[in-house]
Structure 1
Amino acid sequence: MKIAIISVSDKGQELALSLKEKLDADSTIIKTDLYHKNVKKYFPVLFYEYDAVIAIMASGILIRSIAPLIESKVSDPAVLNIDDNGNFVISTLSGHLGGANKLTQKVAGLIGATPVITTSTDVNNKLGIDVIAKDLYLSIDKPEEILFFNKAILEGEEISFTINPNKNFEYLLGYLNKVTLEIDVSFDYSSEVSEDEILVHFDDHRLVLKERKIVAGIGCRREKEYEKIHEGLIKSINDLGISESRINMLASAEIKKDEQGILKLSEKLGIPVSFVDMDRLKLFESTDVAKSDFVYSKFGIYGVCEPSALITAGFDSELIYKKTSYDGVTIAIAISK
């Protein structure tokens, strides 16, 4: 998640600096940029350039600033509102698909504030269909149906999921068993449903949840043991709250194609691995990729795990887990558009 923090007062700016330091230590936060004052100038840019905007200011200023920019729950960024004293963190916009509700809980925990969340499913301890999509990195083909499904869930109606019997959907079953919010579901199996899709239906209403490709990029020291690489991967996906079965591919650089630890990991997990051509890595450019002069001095490329993951995930993909080191292993995770 790419986050912009904007403040208007000196006290708010101090809080912004402190919050940025805490967020930067989180591997699921790709970058955090600070803005101060000039609200009218900055908001039209922040709204389209970041996944989330944290506004440390009076709610009136925030609401008037974002009102002309709001378009859709599918595309609008998460927006949080914090008072200058850091007493309350309010999920203001895009609570589910944008991730504002979860980010509100995270930020409130970091600064010792009270989280304020008002979405109906959350306050009634129910699991929204859009929360499932967000948590499991699934796209929704008919966002206009979300309200209908969430209304049915609030009323305690049973929601049916149809999945392909040949695909491992352990990540979905495990998620629904583990989650603390309430939802009544039943499962059907049909080979007519694509392996990367989940058909959700209630009465005459249907929507399709489709997997966005998740790629785990791996870098490691020469002859690094499979167990250590696996341990690093587990720590990373635990941070994201996903299971191994939700990963679609592994990726690394061509120079790692003989690394037995990576090959064994691919075999053990049953997940294919792509070894990206060195020329493609040399030409790859992204402002989100961390550059290592050490790696460049050895291999002529600035990184392995982040660019490998992004290239394999496809055009316009983005990082959801920045390069993180685990005892000689580096992990980054990217997702397709």
Structure 2
Amino acid sequence: MASRYAAVAITTNGIRLALKLGALLADTEVYGYAKYSGDLQETSSALQVFAEPVRELLPKLFRQYEGIILFFSLGAAVRLIAPLLTDKRTDPAVIVIDESGEHVISMLSGHLGGANRLTLQIAQLLDSHPVITTASDVQGTFAVDLLGAEFGWRADHFAPMKTVSAALVNGEAVAFLQESGERSWLPPGAVLPAHVRLCGSMAELQEAPFSAAIVVTDLLLTGPASAALGERAVVYRPRSLVLGLGCNRGTSQEELETVVQDTLAELGLSLLSVRNVATAGIKGDEAGLIALCAKYGWKLTLYSPEQLNTVVLEQPSETVFKATGAYGVCEPAALLSSGARDLVLKKKKSGNVTIAVARVSFNEAGESLHE
């Protein structure tokens, strides 16, 4: 499916407006009820005409598109969409627009599904009034379930989201600790509520009184820290770690994966925080490396011998130089990719694999310095 959005209209005016939006909003496919499409289907090749009742059409579209834009009353939309709902993490964004285009209403999946963002975009295109009712947006703060989404942050567990979100919008004490990752996570124009306390360390967070907590870290939480947070904390994993990997020719994905998992576990680091793998260009065709990166969605960043040799190493290897043209692979690759000055883990050899780990450096604006 090439299109991201489906615009559905069941009146003549609604179909005209849907076609207008389709011409302005990229990746939008327009569906018009046959009975009221009339000459519009002859003048617009973009119009998909349907003859069945809209209640039969919507289930087909609901699982196919990222967003559904409905040009009819909110009440009708509620009745038609209700039987199709599954989960806020998978349901598409649903937008409702009256047939005169006065109001654009974010109806479903405002945060995770992107309906709020899409509502604002459509309202600007149609010169309409956006209607958004989610509490965090109305209050001008941030949405817990969207924190760091633009950076690829991922939550360890989704279950605490409801508890933490409720505490945030109801003015309860919320502790916030960030140990790694981008610092520019607060949306443009949003403000940090007075009841959110920024903590400088896990020890400070554990001592602070709070109803809920948000922790942004690449460290695994164990012992007292885990016990203190319990089920009232959302733990986000920023993409803040770079794995420098070297391996003998033909090393399997399974061996590489085992070394990575065991190494991160020993360091107390989360696998979810790995941003990318870095290595020598000569390793760019290693099937095991390629398969490992594909499994986890990691980018494989490659460096030439000349680039790797710009990094001064404590223990340059003549053996590695003869094989690759560089005096080291995993350590310089990790440092170059992360922008870090020091390694979290210096080169460690395990079987056919060598691994080094670096933490991504961010500038004062919270932006990563390298990839």
- Tell me which interval the TM-score lies in, with the shorter structure as reference length: 0.5 to 0.7
Q: CA deviation at 1:91?
A: 0.5
- Judged with a 3 Å threshold, the aligned counterparts in structure 2 of structure 1 residues 54 and 138 are, in CA distance, closer, same or farther, namely farther
* Other-structure match for 2:179: 163
Q: Equivalent residue of 1:75, what SS?
A: coil
Q: Any conservation in 2 of the 1:159–1:202 contact (CA below 8 Å)?
A: no
- Judged with a 3 Å threshold, the aligned counterparts in structure 2 of structure 1 residues 113 and 133 are, in CA distance, closer, same or farther, namely same
Q: CA deviation at 1:84?
A: 0.4
2:198 maps to 1:186: yes
Q: Any conservation in 1 of the 2:140–2:189 contact (CA below 8 Å)?
A: no
Q: Deviations over 1:191-219 (max 9, x none)?
A: x953799x999675123334589xxxxxx
* Other-structure match for 1:19: 21
* Other-structure match for 1:334: none
- Judged with a 3 Å threshold, the aligned counterparts in structure 2 of structure 1 residues 67 and 22 are, in CA distance, closer, same or farther, namely same
* Other-structure match for 1:175: 185
Cα distance in 2 between the residues matched to 1:248 and 1:196: 16
Q: Equivalent residue of 1:143, what SS?
A: coil
User: Considering only aligned residues, what root-mean-square deviation do their CA atoms show, in Å?
Assistant: 3.7
Between structure 1 and structure 2, the one with the greater Rg is 2
* Other-structure match for 2:132: 117
Q: CA deviation at 1:12?
A: 0.9
1:145 to 134, 156, 160: 160
Q: Deviations over 1:125-153 (max 9, x none)?
A: 22120132544443334333222111221
| Counterpart residue identity of residue 5, structure 1 | A
Q: CA deviation at 1:274?
A: 6.1
- Judged with a 3 Å threshold, the aligned counterparts in structure 2 of structure 1 residues 159 and 46 are, in CA distance, closer, same or farther, namely farther
| Counterpart residue identity of residue 66, structure 2 | D
Q: Deviations over 1:100-137 (max 9, x none)?
A: 11111111011011001111222222212013254444
- Judged with a 3 Å threshold, the aligned counterparts in structure 2 of structure 1 residues 137 and 55 are, in CA distance, closer, same or farther, namely farther
Cα distance in 1 between the residues matched to 2:22 and 2:276: 32
2:77 maps to 1:81: no
* Other-structure match for 2:31: 35
Q: CA deviation at 1:187?
A: 4.7
For these two proteins, the number of residue pairs brought into alignment is 212
Q: Any conservation in 2 of the 1:74–1:98 contact (CA below 8 Å)?
A: yes
List alignment gaps of at least 5 residues for structure 1. 25-30, 214-245, 258-270, 276-337
Q: CA deviation at 1:157?
A: 2.1
Cα distance in 2 between the residues matched to 1:247 and 1:16: 42
Cα distance in 2 between the residues matched to 1:181 and 1:175: 11
| Counterpart residue identity of residue 192, structure 2 | E
2:44 maps to 1:48: no
| Counterpart residue identity of residue 62, structure 2 | F
Cα distance in 2 between the residues matched to 1:147 and 1:40: 31
TM-score, length-scaled by structure 1: 0.54
Q: Deviations over 1:259-285 (max 9, x none)?
A: xxxxxxxxxxxx96369xxxxxxxxxx
| Counterpart residue identity of residue 207, structure 1 | V
Cα distance in 1 between the residues matched to 2:274 and 2:9: 37
- Judged with a 3 Å threshold, the aligned counterparts in structure 2 of structure 1 residues 105 and 178 are, in CA distance, closer, same or farther, namely closer
* Other-structure match for 1:90: 105
* Other-structure match for 1:205: 232
TM-score, length-scaled by structure 2: 0.49
Q: Deviations over 1:222-272 (max 9, x none)?
A: xxxxxxxxxxxxxxxxxxxxxxxx99569xxx9xx9xxxxxxxxxxxxx96
Q: Any conservation in 2 of the 1:79–1:92 contact (CA below 8 Å)?
A: yes
Q: CA deviation at 1:7?
A: 0.8
* Other-structure match for 2:344: none
Q: CA deviation at 1:43?
A: 0.8
2:77 maps to 1:58: no
2:285 maps to 1:273: no
Q: Relative to structure 2, which stretch is displaced further, 65-74 or 117-126?
A: 117-126
Q: CA deviation at 1:34?
A: 1.6
Cα distance in 2 between the residues matched to 1:115 and 1:97: 18
Task: Give the structure, 1 or 2, with the largest relative contact order (CA under 8 Å, sep 6 or more).
Answer: 1
Cα distance in 2 between the residues matched to 1:112 and 1:14: 15
* Other-structure match for 2:36: none
Q: Any conservation in 2 of the 1:95–1:101 contact (CA below 8 Å)?
A: yes
Q: CA deviation at 1:72?
A: 1.3
Cα distance in 2 between the residues matched to 1:98 and 1:157: 27
Q: Equivalent residue of 1:55, what SS?
A: strand
Q: CA deviation at 1:90?
A: 0.4
Q: CA deviation at 1:54?
A: 0.6
Q: Any conservation in 2 of the 1:160–1:185 contact (CA below 8 Å)?
A: yes
List alignment gaps of at least 5 residues for structure 2. 34-51, 203-215, 241-272, 285-298, 304-371
- Judged with a 3 Å threshold, the aligned counterparts in structure 2 of structure 1 residues 185 and 174 are, in CA distance, closer, same or farther, namely farther
Q: Equivalent residue of 1:144, what SS?
A: coil
